Amino acid sequence: MSDTFTTRTVHIETGGHETVTDLTGECERFLGEAAAGRDGLLNVFVPHATAGIAVLETGAGSDDDLLTALRDLLPADDRWQHRHGSPGHGRDHVVPALVAPHATLPVIAGRLELGTWQSVCLVDTNVDNPDRQVRLSFLG
């Protein structure tokens, strides 16, 4: 049975454009305080109906490729039943079905165990809401 549950909400400004925001540094800072060298699990959760959490490579084009793929799969046009905000905003409400609003990751000896090129990222296609909250929770 675990001994500790610690949680924190961080505020992320995504701006007025589609974005993939690397949260890895924020996760590592949180674990530096919360995990204190213990093994456990980090849960990353975005409590928004139009954003998701992805584990992927950043900086080599994969983040832009993800946004391009989402644009191709979910065009910002008038086909969507959900209509308010920017044209095509209904597609933003479908994004979390493809990019889940959460990820649970292993923590070993207080450190996030990611692969060499993996980063924890907030995926936000909603240009109408640049203010995001991300909940980080450590169980260990």
Residue 78, domain CATH: 2.60.120.460
Q: Which domain holds residue 52?
A: 5-139
What pTM value is reported for the model? 0.93
- Whether 59 has a pLDDT exceeding 60, the answer reads yes
Over the stretch 73-93, which tens digit does the pLDDT of each residue have? 999 898 988 888 888 889 999
Residue among 10, 12, 20, 9 nearest 125 (CA)? 20
Instruction: List beta partners, residue 137.
Output: 7, 43
- State mean pLDDT over 64-78: 95
Residue 1 pLDDT > 50, yes or no?
no
- Residue scoring higher pLDDT (128 or 85): 128
The Cβ of residue 105 has, within 10 Å, a number of other Cβ atoms equal to 18
pLDDT exceeds cutoff 90 at 16: no
Q: How many domains does the chain have?
A: 1
